[in-house]
Amino acid sequence: MKWFWTALLVISSLSLLVVLFRNRGSLEFLRRFALHLILAALALYAVNYSGLLSGWEIPLNATTVGTVMVLGLPGVALIAGLKAVLF
């Protein structure tokens, strides 16, 4: 039974990759997503090590990077505000 689920996972993953590479629009989406992810991580890294928030450090994890990726720089302010109020 374990082999069945493994084979099903492999086949479905390969099918998904075929569909993604066949459509040019999906590649553009993946590029944009990767660019936003990298820029969000760099923004958090810059805020942490620039000294703008002295004594505070915003962790680089999936939640914080995702928030900054969706909201942009206001997301950094949101996370800093939540850290100030909650912790």
Region at 56 (left for phi over 0; alpha for psi -120 to 50; beta for the rest): beta
pLDDT value, residue 50: 85
Is the confidence at residue 8, as pLDDT, over 90? yes
Confidence of residue 23 (pLDDT cuts 50, 70, 90): confident
Give percent above pLDDT 70 in the chain.
100
Residue 58 CB contacts under 8 Å (≥ 6 apart), including other chains: 44, 47, 48, 64, 76, 79, 80, 83
Q: H helices within the chain, ranges in order?
A: 2-22, 24-50, 62-71, 73-86
pTM comes to: 0.67
Q: Note the pLDDT tens digit of each residue in 46-78.
A: 888 887 777 788 888 999 999 999 998 898 889
Q: How far apart are CA 60 and CA 38, in angstroms?
A: 12
